[in-house]
Amino acid sequence: MANILVGLVVFGALGAIVWKMVRDRRKGVGSCHSGCGTCPFACEKRHD
C-alpha cells in the first residue's frame, strides 16, 4: 500500500517535471526577469 502511494507521488512528480520541461521548450518560455535591464546579457532567453 505504502509502495503504491509513495510510488505514485514520486513518479507522478517526475512525470510532471518532464512534461512541463517539454511543454516549456515547445512554447519557448523565456526565463528572464524584467528587472535585469542594466546588463545586455543578463538572462538566458530563447531565440526563435
Partner 1 sequence: MPHTIALAGNPNSGKTSIFNELTGSTQYVGNWPGVTVEKKEGYLKGDKRHVVVDLPGIYSLSPYTLEEVVTRDFLLDGKPDLIINVVDATNLERNLYLTTQLVETGIPVLIALNMMDILERNGDTIQVPLLSEALGCPIIETSAVSRAGLKDLVKTAVHMVDKAEGSGKVAKFSTPVEKALLQIEHLIDTLVPPDTLRWFTIKVFEHDERVMQRLNLSDQTAHQIATIIESVEKSMDDSAESLITNDRYEYLTGITAACHKKARKMGTLSTSDKIDRIVTNRWLALPIFFAVMWGVYFIAIQSVGDLFIGWIEWFFGDLIGANIALGLEAIGTSAWLVGLVVDGIIAGVGSVLTFVPQMMILFFFLALMEDCGYMARVAFIMDRIFRKFGLSGKSFIPMLIGTGCSVPAIMASRTIENQRDRRMTVMLTPFIPCGAKLPVFALLVGAFFPNSAWIASSMYLVGILAVIVSGIVLKKTKAFAGDPAPFVMELPSYHMPRMKGVVIHMWDRGKQFIKKAGTIIAVASAAIWILQSSSWSFQLVDTQDSILASIGRLIAPIFTPLGFGSWEVAVATITGLLAKETIVATFGIVLGLGNVAEGDPTLLASVGAFFNPISAYSFMIFTLFAAPCAAAIGATRREMQSAKWTWAAILFQTGVAYTAALVVYQVGMLLFGRGL
Tell me the C-alpha distance between 36 and 48, whole Å. Answer: 21
Closest approach of Cβ 26 to partner 1, in Å? 15
What type of residue sits at position 32?
C
Enter the C-alpha cell of residue 36: 535585469
Nearer to partner 1 (CB atom), residue 2 or residue 26: 2
Write down the residue that cell numbers 538572462 correspond to: 43
Site string for partner 1, 16-45 (x = CB under 8 A): -xx-xx--------xxxxxxxxxxxxxxxx
Residues found in the chain = 48
Which residues are at the interface with partner 1 (CB under 8 A)? 1-3, 6-7, 10, 14, 17-18, 20-21, 30-48
